[in-house]
Amino acid sequence: MSAELATAPGHDAGHDDHGHVSAENNFLGLPNIKLAMWAFLGSECMFFGSLIGTYFFYHGKSLGGPLPTQVFSLTITSISTFLLLMSSMTMALAVDATRLRKLSQARAYILATAVLGATFVGFQIYEFSQFVSEGLKLQTSLFGSTFFVMTGFHGAHVTVGVIWLTMLSMLISNGKLNKDKASVTVEVAGLYWHFVDIVWIVIFTFVYLLEFIK
Amino acid sequence: MASVADFAQAQAPVYHQERPAKSGLVDWLTTVDHKKIGILYGTAGVFWLLIGGLEALLFRLQLAKPDQDLFIGTQYNGLVTMHATTMVFLAVMPMIAGFSNYFVPLMIGARDVAFPRLNAFSWYTFLFGSLVINASIVFAHFPAGGWTGYAPLSTRAYGNDGMDFWWAGLVLLAISSMVAGVNFVVTILNMRAPGMTLMRVPVLAWMMLVIQFLLAFSFPPIAVGLIFLAFDRTFGAVFYETAMGGDPHLWQHLFWLFGHPEVYVLILPSMGIVSEVLPVFARRPLFGQHAVIFSGVFIGFVGFGVWGHHMFTAGMGPIADAVFAATTAVIAIPTGVKIFNWLGTLWGGKLTFPVAMLFAISFIPMFTIGGLSGVMHANAPLDLQQHDSYFVVAHFHYVLVGGALQGLFSGIYFYFPKITGKMLSEALGKAHFWLFLIGMNMTFWPMHDLGNRGMPRRIYTYPADAGWNFDNLLATAGVFFMAAGTLIMVYNMLNSLKNGKEAGRDPWDANTLEWMTTSPPPAHNFDFTPVVFSERPLFDHKHTEDLAIPVPSEAEQIHMPSPSWKPLVVATGALLIIVGLLLFNVAPLLWLVSVAGALTVVVGIYQWVSEPV
């Protein structure tokens, strides 16, 4: 019987190393938390797909108010986009550091990512206030409603990421995230962070840049 | 020959838990045990089933005779809206969640779900969502915009104050479903016992896997639609303002992109239950098990491409109409495959007819009637005639009552002994079955006729000379039969808890792993991790010496997750965020409640990840 036990698929495939020790099996050989993040990101694709889809459904149908080209400032948004892209690099370096079990280095990269993300949110707040002063509010037009809600929810996702990264750095500081657990935990935060970054690349390309190609 | 009794010989496991479970109320508030959460979901589902049924009974009384004025106008609309919202989101979905929670880990040989505390969080957000929707009757009025909430009919200009509670509650329910979806996808894919390959996963667990994907991927669009509605109603955004260029199609697309996969969320678990019950009481393996599984997966995929058939009258244009007509016709094929597989399972079997089997057998023709009237609507020109008539009401009630609900009833009679350790009374169960079957046909069959003779949906009365009097009276009378049957079921359950016959591990001589453990199962489910060699591990254990499940001689080391307050704390934070947005309508400064809620969520999550499990 023991030979059959050993050959049964899923047997002895390791254990979930994220504290969820309710069962010892790990059928796909992938940590639960990582699989959960991929499933969640699939769900998020539908979420942002609906938001961005609505923006284009209503594109050019506003009955008044400023047009996108009248309020967008490519200079400002390019700078903030560059910062967010750089934050994906620091995030990747943080994941790499946890694989090498260098937690203090990882913590520094995590904090750098959080600072870059927070700066991006700061740029977005400035951008929103500029738009409002130029006469584009949530209530002004279909463009106002779709633009502010779509980019607002993206900004909220970045904010959640910043809080998440801050928590991770606190957990590393007070020793609650040890070297064994850190690799997968930080990697999962990285998956989220890169996803939010990719969503912004889509928004920046299709919502901002395409507006100026005529 | 091996028997289920062998499993009692296993050594009691060596148990480890950081913080042992408390007793009584605290236990139920802090539990992360999938079985207790399943019981909570199931109890809530049955409770809301009674409330939703009562709402139906009230508006059927109004429609029993022409020209009545029991519940008219907004009152009638409120009852209809709440009946549908309650039945879909608060009765059938939590009953499904109850079965999913209780039985998926048992069926795949796991000790719990992948994320037990996240599971408790899903339960609390569901509970708070259901309470928020129903709080509308206390603080305002029942939402009266229809369960589909079509904007702009649900915006501030046309919808009543209850619609605020409606979107707020549904946002919480959407969060609950998306989180649960992710949790169970991971559980079923990653927590299977050794040897349980995907093709050996029981059909019910497979259908649960399909609907968890549907939940995770179909709730975001309606969440976005609800967020737009919330922004319109609360902050004056213009998503659905036709005067500002807003397009009524927007809501319909977002709603039905969720709404049609949701139909399969409601029916696939019942198909799974029937696929478990029929083989046990026909004493034959499920005919074409792989075909049943793959057709379920196919339904799940294509279910995302058929939503437009709800919108044939909305003016999408001939190309879109043609595409959605084709996809809708295609989805009838896997459904038909399943029906023939069930018939093939029964063919030549040694049939016995306990109540679980009666409901499972009657599921097949009742669901088929609903399926046939449904596939008619794939024909766009025909649909133009039947749209918004009682024919459509007849169609989806045959699918949801004759299909989904009868399947769930079958599951209740089949699985109650495992959950409680007590058998339900067969005599009372048979009374329930016949009353319910007769009642549902009395109520919903005449609606085909009413629809064909032109009675529209969503009208609160009709003139005496329209020729609709007899059918309507019959429909109302049927509701009393269904109500009586359902009340008998509730009495049966309560009575059996006290006086029921002891069930033992395996009262039905069944095939799958959940029947291997005690009834009710211990907190850790199995004293040892079962090893699986076939798609019917327990049947083969009992009947095939070579495939017997090995009972290890050594005690297993088990670490179980500890109870936790944190899911309740974080869910309360989410509730406060939503309540703050509702209070913003009362006094803008009260948005600070939302800020308090957000802080509760952040602090709660930090404590959540810090506490040892």
> In B, which residues are within 8 Å of A1 by CB distance?
550
Backbone angles phi, psi at B182, to 5 degrees: -60, -45
3-class secondary structure per residue, B284-327? CCCCCHHHHHHHHHHHHHHHHHCHHHHCHHHCCCHHHHHHHHHH
Evaluate if residue A21 carries a pLDDT over 70: no
| B488/B22: higher pLDDT | B488
Name which of A9, A141, A153 is nearest B238 (Cβ-Cβ): A141
Q: Do B111 and A23 touch (CB under 8 A)?
A: yes
Distances (CA, A) of B560 to A12, A31, B113: 19, 18, 11
Q: List, in order, residues 6 or more apart from A89 with CB less than 8 Å away.
A: none
**Active-site residue, selected from the candidate residues B41, B76, B147, B462:** B147
Q: A23 and chain B: CB distance < 8 Å anywhere?
A: yes
* Residue B378, min C-alpha distance to chain A (Å): 25
Per-residue model confidence (pLDDT) at position B294: 97
pLDDT digits (tens, 9 = 90+) for B248-259: 999 999 999 999
Q: What is the mean pLDDT of residues B598-609?
A: 96
Q: Which residue in chain B is spatially nearest to A10 when comparing CA positions?
A: B194
Q: What pLDDT was estimated at residue A25?
A: 57
| Residue ranges in B453-550 assigned as alpha helix (H) | 469-499, 537-543
Q: What's the first-to-final CA gap in chain A, in angstroms? A: 72
Q: Are B566 and B607 in contact (CB under 8 A)?
A: yes
Is residue B64 scored above 50 in pLDDT?
yes
Nearest of B497, B504, B537 to residue B521 by alpha carbon: B504
Tens-digit pLDDT profile for residues B573-583: 999 999 999 99
Model confidence band, residue A178 (pLDDT cutoffs 50, 70, 90) = confident
Whole-number Å distance between alpha carbons of B335 and B296? 8
**Residue A144 to residue B236, Cβ atoms within 8 A:** no
B interface mutation test: which of A18, A22, A34, A151 has the most B CBs within 10 A? Answer: A22
Can you tell me the distance from the alpha carbon of A58 to that of A145, in angstroms, rounded to the nearest whole number?
A: 10
Point out the residue among A144, A149, A171 whose CB comes nearest to the CB of B609. A171
CA A35, A39, A43: angle at the middle one, nearest 5?
A: 165
- The answer to whether B237 faces chain A, any CB pair under 8 Å, is yes
Which residues on adjacent β-strands are paired with residue B389?
B456
Cβ contact B278:B346 at 8 Å: yes
CA distance A6 to chain B (A): 9
Of the candidates B111, B156, B260, B448, the residue annotated as catalytic is: B260
Q: How far is B116 from chain A (nearest CA, A)?
A: 8
pLDDT exceeds 50 at position B397: yes
Q: What is the pLDDT of residues B40-58, one digit of tens each?
A: 999 999 999 999 999 999 9
Cβ-in-10-Å burial (0-12, 13-18, 19+) of B407 comes to buried
The per-residue pLDDT for range B142-151, each reduced to its tens digit, is 999 999 999 9
Q: Do B250 and A44 lie within an 8 Å CB cutoff? A: no
* pLDDT over threshold 90, residue A14: no
Distance from A3 to chain B by nearest Cα, in Å? 12
Instruction: Tell if the CB–CB gap between B218 and A46 is shorter than 8 Å.
Output: yes
Segments in A100-204 forming alpha helices (H): 103-133, 142-173, 179-203
Burial B146-161 (b: 16+ CB within 10 A, else e): bbbbbbbbbbbeebbb
Distance CA A132, CA B169 (A): 31
Number of other CB atoms surrounding residue A14 within 10 Å:
11
Whether the predicted model's global pTM rises above the 0.90 cut: yes
Helix (H) or strand (E) holding B215: helix B203-235
What's residue A179's pLDDT?
Answer: 87
**A23/B244 Cβ within 8 A:** no
B 370-429: CB under 8 A from A? none
Q: CB neighbours of B52 closer than 8 A, spacing ≥ 6?
A: B82, B83, B86, B87, B90, B91
- Tell me the mean pLDDT in the region B472-481: 98
Is B141 marked active-site? no
Catalytic: which of B125, B130, B335, B345? B335
B9 pLDDT exceeds 90?
no
**What tokens appear for B134 in the block?**
């129903």
Nearest CA in chain A to B218: A46
Yes or no, beta carbons of B182 and A138 under 8 Å apart: no
Is the complex ipTM more than 0.90? yes
Q: How far apart are CA B337 and CA B329, in angstroms?
A: 14
Q: B559–A43: do the CB atoms touch at under 8 Å? A: no
Q: B529 and A24 in contact by Cβ < 8 A?
A: yes
**pLDDT surpasses 50 at B70:** yes
For the segment A190-199, the average pLDDT, to the nearest whole number, is 98
From the candidates B60, B117, B338, B448, which is the catalytic residue? B338
Q: Which helix (H) or strand (E) holds B165?
A: helix B162-190
β-bridge partners, B14: B557
Q: Is A145 exposed, middle or buried (0-12, 13-18, 19+ CB in 10 A)?
A: buried
Dump strand ranges (E) for B464-594. Answer: 557-559
A191 touches chain B (CB under 8 A): no
The ranges assigned to domains in chain B are: 34-200
- As a whole number of angstroms, the distance between CA B14 and CA B236 comes to 60
The domains of chain A are located at 1-30, 32-212
| B34 is an active site residue | no
Q: Given this model, what pLDDT does residue B541 score?
A: 93
Residue B370 binned pLDDT confidence (cut-offs 50, 70, 90):
very high
Q: How many residues are there in chain B? A: 613
Q: Residue B375: exposed, middle, or buried by beta-carbon count in 10 A (0-12, 13-18, 19+)?
A: middle
pLDDT score at B12 = 87
B250 contacts B240 by C-beta, under 8 angstroms: yes
**How is residue B148 annotated by DSSP?**
T
pLDDT at A142: 97
B292 to chain A, any CB pair closer than 8 A? The answer is: no
pLDDT tens digit sequence for B399-428: 999 999 999 999 999 999 999 999 999 999
Residue B5 confidence (pLDDT) above 90: no
Q: pLDDT per residue over B118-141, tens digit each?
A: 999 999 999 999 999 999 999 999
| pLDDT the model gives residue B16 | 87
State the average pLDDT over residues B325-332.
95
Q: Kindly determine whether residue B182 and residue A36, on different chains, have CB atoms separated by under 8 Å.
A: yes
Fold adopted by A32-212: Four Helix Bundle (Hemerythrin (Met), subunit A) (1.20.120)
Contacts of A140 in chain B (CB under 8 A): 238
As a whole number of angstroms, the distance between CA A204 and CA A151 comes to 10
* Contact: B192, A10; criterion CB under 8 Å: yes
B147 catalytically annotated: yes
A203/A99 Cα distance (integer angstroms): 32
Considering all CA atoms of chain B, what is the largest pairwise distance in Å, rounded to the nearest integer? Answer: 79
Please provide the average confidence, as pLDDT, over all residues in chain B. 95
Residue B541: active-site member: no
Instruction: Specify the 3-state DSSP secondary structure of B55.
Output: helix
Residue A20, pLDDT > 60, answer no
Partners of A160 on chain B (C-beta within 8 Å) are none
pLDDT greater than 50 at residue B563: yes
Report whether pLDDT(A161) > 80: yes
